[in-house]
Amino acid sequence: MRHRFSIAVIWSALGNWSREGINFLVFLILARLLGPEAYGLVGMAMVLAALAQIFLVDGIGTVLVQRKELEPGHIDMAFWLLLGVAGLISGAMLLGAQPLAAFYRLPEVADLVRFIAVLPPLFALCGVQVALLKRDMRFDVLTLRSILATIVGGLVGVGMALRGHGPYSLVAMFATQWTVQLIVLWAKSSWRPGLAARATHFRDIRRYVAETVGTRILMYLEQQLPRIGIGAFLGPVALGLFTMGWRLLEILSILVIMPVSQVAMPAFSRLQHDMERTAAALGSMLRLSVLLAFPAFIGLAAIAPVLVPLAFGEKWAEAVPVVQVMLLLGLPWAMTYCTSALMAGVGILRWRLILGWVSLAGLFLVLPVGYFHGMVALAWALVARAVLLLPLNFWVLRKELGIATGPLLQGVAPILIASLGMGAAVMAWQHELAGHLSPLALLASSILVGVVSYPPLVLLLARRAVMPLLRMLRGLRQVTP
């Protein structure tokens, strides 16, 4: 089990880093070519497609990963559910295109929505194959499809942007990526849909599916309500700037948090009957997550004033304050990704749903801040909400699973202090050298300051937490073939 988990973590990390490295390059090129308005328009049009992704990519199929005893009928039932829901959502997108455009008072949104309606069936046709490969920890295949799809889709998107197709370049990129994923997944997986599904199979999976989808819908609302509000009240340019902050936050999360957390869910599902081992695994995973994530998010926030205009162009300079604040969301995320993976793996989804409702209620309280005080204030309010909700996650683990909070958080505070010290060193360096170095030299030297200053700080302040993690990482390397 340890060997399979280690290999899965490594493949997951390689896949995430390779895919997001290519994604970042494509994002950089397209952001320079298209500007904030095009990203804002696509963000408006993607509202229903994002809902489809909640159901079809991260929702219904996850029961195939979690369920201990899996019959062919369960798999067939999940497949036909996915396809049926995809058809309903695509139909809703076609019917709702014009009303959505009227809501935003931007007619061009309607045509974008109609083109995007091709995505839900592609999501559905990939859903079961992805779930079965995750269940078997075949992250090598998942890595292959991600990298190939990102490369081909990126080439299509950049090519269309160079030809002047504007926001349609982004839509074509998404459609191409999912088409390539579909081809690779069906070529590499031996499973094919059948007619073994019965009513009993639906009854077996309906509770987990309902609770998972319910939780994901709440996550969807959390992600989309700010976009809807910004798009409706502040316009596509403001939404494009917000999208920049969110995209950088998302990329870094995928690079430094998800390599472990996405493997954790199937691993926790196997350990769910041994709570002592589960608690120990969660503690190690959480400390590893913050060890990597805290300096990454704080460091990127520190270099954002130099990075954003240099990489994406001066037209994105207004996004810098939003980017800096939104990156701080990664600090609580580094812990909640881990706790959420555990809750999903051991099947306590009712509490995940309750936490989602509490989080959504908090979102409704902070959204008016953006309307009255602007996007930077909204970003601060979102960070505050995430931090205030963090203790509730640990309370649920203690109540439902008997996992004490104290041992889980050992070493987190010293790692945070070390990361803040590194960030302060980077900002001081930039303050002293601004105007004396070229932007590229200032960026490179700032990154070097962060890389050099963090290891001694974290070893000085959090040695007791860090050394076991280093031994664990050496163990992962030793079991790699």
Mean pLDDT of 430-453: 92
At residue 258, the pLDDT reads: 78
Residue 351: closest CA among 303, 410, 417, 398: 398
Whether residue 92 is predicted with pLDDT greater than 70 in this model: the reply is yes
- Distance of alpha carbon 438 from alpha carbon 445, whole angstroms: 10
- Distance of alpha carbon 476 from alpha carbon 9, whole angstroms: 9
43 against 10, higher pLDDT: 43
Whether residue 91 is predicted with pLDDT greater than 60 in this model: the reply is yes
- Distance of alpha carbon 430 from alpha carbon 443, whole angstroms: 8
The least confident of 22-31, 101-110, 262-271, 449-458 is: 262-271
The least confident of 92-96, 149-153, 262-266, 315-319 is: 262-266
Mean pLDDT of 307-324: 89
Both ends of the chain: CA-CA distance in Å? 15
When mean pLDDT is compared over 27-31, 78-82, 335-339, 426-430, the highest value belongs to: 426-430
When mean pLDDT is compared over 34-43, 87-96, 256-265, the highest value belongs to: 87-96
At residue 480, the pLDDT reads: 43
At residue 149, the pLDDT reads: 93
Whether residue 236 is predicted with pLDDT greater than 60 in this model: the reply is yes
pLDDT range class, residue 123, cuts 50, 70, 90: very high
- Distance of alpha carbon 68 from alpha carbon 270, whole angstroms: 8
Neighbours of 256 (CB within 10 A): 25
44, 104 in Cβ contact below 8 A? yes
Torsion 245-251-256-257 (CA) sign: positive
- Distance of alpha carbon 229 from alpha carbon 223, whole angstroms: 11
At residue 68, the pLDDT reads: 72
The rounded percent of the chain whose pLDDT value lies above 70 is 90
The least confident of 1-15, 178-192, 304-318, 437-451 is: 1-15
Mean pLDDT of 140-169: 90
pLDDT range class, residue 90, cuts 50, 70, 90: very high
Q: How would you label 297-326 residue by residue, b for 16+ Cβ within 10 Å and e otherwise? A: bbbbbbbbbbbbbeebeebbebbbbbbbbb
49-72 pLDDT, tens digit per residue, is 888 887 787 777 777 877 777 788
Whether residue 185 is predicted with pLDDT greater than 80 in this model: the reply is yes
Whether residue 238 is predicted with pLDDT greater than 70 in this model: the reply is yes
Mean of the per-residue pLDDT values of the chain: 84
426, 451 in Cβ contact below 8 A? no
Whether residue 26 is predicted with pLDDT greater than 70 in this model: the reply is yes
282-301 pLDDT, tens digit per residue, is 877 888 889 989 999 999 99
At residue 327, the pLDDT reads: 95
Angle at 470 between CA 465 and CA 472, to 5 degrees: 100
At residue 405, the pLDDT reads: 81
Whether residue 474 is predicted with pLDDT greater than 70 in this model: the reply is no
357-409 pLDDT, tens digit per residue, is 888 888 888 888 877 888 888 889 999 999 999 999 899 888 888 888 888 88
At residue 183, the pLDDT reads: 94
The rounded percent of the chain whose pLDDT value lies above 90 is 35
pLDDT range class, residue 101, cuts 50, 70, 90: very high
Q: What is the 3-state secondary structure (H, E, C) of the chain?
A: CHHHHHHHHHHHHHHHHHHHHHHHHHHHHHHHHHHHHHHHHHHHHCHHHHHHHHHHCCCCCHHHHHCCCCCHHHHHHHHHHHHHHHHHHHHHHHHHHHHHHHHHCCCHHHHHHHHHCCHHHHHHHHHHHHHHHHHCCCHHHHHHHHHHHHHHHHHHHHHHHHCCCCCHHHHHHHHHHHHHHHHHHHHHCCCCCCCCCCHHHHHHHHHHHHHHHHHHHHHHHHHHHHHHHHHHHHCHHHHHHHHHHHHHHHHHHHHHCHHHHHHHHHHHHHHCCCHHHHHHHHHHHHHHHHHHHHHHHHHHHHHHHHHHHHHHCHHHHHHHHHHHHHHCCHHHHHHHHHHHHHHHHHCCHHHHHHHHHHHHHHHHHHHHHHHHHCHHHHHHHHHHHHHHHHHHHHHHHHHHHCCCHHHHCCCHHHHHHHHHHHHHHHHHHHHHHECCECHHHHHHHHHHHHHHHHHHHHHHHCHHHHHHHHHHHHHHHHHCC
* Residue 78: CA count within 13 A, CB half-sphere: 36
At residue 171, the pLDDT reads: 94
